[in-house]
Amino acid sequence: MRLKDKVAIITGAANGLGFEAARIFAREGAKVALVDYDEKLGKQRAAELREEGGDATFFQVNVADRDNVDGMVSEVIRCYEKVDILINNAGITRDAMLTKLSMEDFQAVINVNLTGVFNCTQAVVPHMIAQGKGKIISTSSVSGVYGNVGQTNYAAAKAAVVGMTKTWAKELGRKGINVNAVAPGFIETNMVATVPEKVIDHVKSTIPLQRLGKPSDIGYAYLYLASDESDYVNGTVMHVDGGIMM
């Protein structure tokens, strides 16, 4: 087992990439804190993992709310006594062309996709420093690295994730903490299901592998970066996108 007895917090774990990662991590022996805004689904998902023999607990949290996040981290420590891994995966889209993008939708995406990553990381890091080891993985996007039509807010936040990842890798490396990001391409989840069909057809035609990604394609990237196998990997942005932007 690649994560035996490690304690992992995964945000956005009720759906898509986060849930798939929670399942993979539980199968690899991790004790998983599933963190999500969606309480009903999150509880179901944690129960599903426990039925499969995993150790999983759900925590209802809005990652954009700092008090909420601090409370969750205290609860995880109380429940599992430590945090070894943080996966900053929660995210939302509010797509619109620049000329039509409202301030409200701009700010909503920044609050979750940027401030949420900052909140969770700052809350968890003191515990990792105290234990002299930790793994932080944040989810960027092909949109944050190369830009994407209709995603001013989202691309800004996902580019910020890259900047924060590299900064934290430099600050925290000497404390025994590895900080990396994963930049997925277009992966089959609810998030992509909202994209107009003509856009998806166009996107597919630009991917050398000629298909969208599966949630497990990202789950296994998270797994590698969370495991001891990646102990010398720090400050990297792992592109898992079928080669979309080569």
DSSP symbol at 114: I
Report what 61 binds from ligand NAI, ligand CAA, none; CB cut-off 5-8 Å by kind: ligand NAI
SS3 32: strand
Which residue do the tokens 């619109």 mark?
A: 96
Give the β-pairing of 7-11 and 55-60.
unpaired
SS3 6: coil
The contact mask relative to ligand NAI for 210-229 (x = CB under 6 A, - = no) is: --------------------
Question: Active-site residue among 37, 80, 146, 154?
Answer: 154
Say whether 222 is catalytic. no
**Residue list 2-61, contact with ligand NAI (CB under 6 A):** 11-12, 14-18, 36-38, 61
Contact between 192 and ligand NAI per CB under 6 A: yes
What's the CA gap between 111 and 65, in Å, rounded?
9
151 binds ligand CAA (CB under 6 A): yes
Q: Tell me: does residue 15 bind ligand CAA (CB under 6 A).
A: no
Residue type, 159: A
Q: Binding marks (x or -) toward ligand CAA, 189..218, rule CB under 6 A?
A: --xx--xx-xx--x----------------
Distance from C-alpha of 177 to C-alpha of 165, rounded to nearest angstrom: 12
User: What does DSSP assign to residue 233?
Assistant: -
Cβ atoms of 201 and 188 within 8 Å: the answer is no
Which of 15, 115, 138, 148 forms a contact with ligand CAA (CB under 6 A)?
148
Residue in 92, 159, 172, 207 binding ligand NAI, rule: CB under 6 A: 92
Q: Interface with ligand NAI includes 190 (CB under 6 A)?
A: yes
Which of 6, 51, 55 has its CA nearest to residue 26? 55
Q: How far is CA 94 from CA 21, 108, 150, 167, in A?
A: 24, 8, 9, 27
Question: Are 20 and 218 a contacting pair, CB within 8 Å?
Answer: yes
The burial class, CB within 10 Å (0-12 / 13-18 / 19+), for 82 is middle
Residue 28 or 241 with smaller CB distance to ligand CAA: 241
Residue 112 interacts with, from ligand CAA, ligand NAI, none (CB under 5-8 Å by kind): ligand NAI
Q: Any idea which residues carry the catalytic annotation? A: 154
> Which residues contact ligand CAA (rule: CB under 6 A)?
93, 95-97, 100, 141-143, 148-151, 154, 186, 191-192, 195-196, 198-199, 202
- Which residues here bind ligand NAI, judged by CB under 6 A? 11-12, 14-18, 36-38, 61-64, 89-92, 112, 116, 139, 141, 184, 186-187, 189-192
